[in-house]
Structure 1
Amino acid sequence: AYVAAGFSDGFFETGLHPWDMAAGALLVTEAGGLVGNFTGEADFLQQRECLAANPKIYGQLVTLLQPYSKFAGAADKATAAKAIDDVSKMIESGQ
């Protein structure tokens, strides 16, 4: 509802059920926003991941979140795994 009202530019979450997303998705789309999964596909209700955002940043969020989608390809998943490793090493070294 915050995205639909313009209080937030975007929202994403995983592990959701269709009933968790349906009403909010309707609010966002009726307000002119976009809703889909992390790869930008509109068929998200059964996929347990949701991205909702205003149209100005939706594409940018898809680009950022796509590697973390359970529907991403092997190359995207490898890139995400490397990024997570790099951040973990930075945290361990105190950077």
Structure 2
Amino acid sequence: MCLVSVDTPDTLPIIYERGLFGMYYDWCKSFSTYPRSYDFLHVDYLFSRLKKMCNFKVVVIEIDQILRPESTLIVRDTAEVINELESMVKSMN
């Protein structure tokens, strides 16, 4: 499942052309994944954008609920944001 943030350029048509599933998503709101959870999440400068728009900790908790235990989160962002995120994730185990 590919989630395209509502505040970024529209890349959903490209996702559909490649035969993948996708949808628009506002990370500042909760995302119902029941009964599914995911093994892999890759975010590209998501936290830098969201830091200005909504509560950073709420987004981290939302990601924790989306991912299965022992799954992978890949974050591409600034060093400052990654350091802050790393301390939050370590405290959550």
Shorter chain as normaliser: what TM range? Answer: under 0.3
Normalization by structure 1: what TM-score?
0.25
> Which structure features the higher share of helix residues?
1
Normalization by structure 2: what TM-score?
0.25
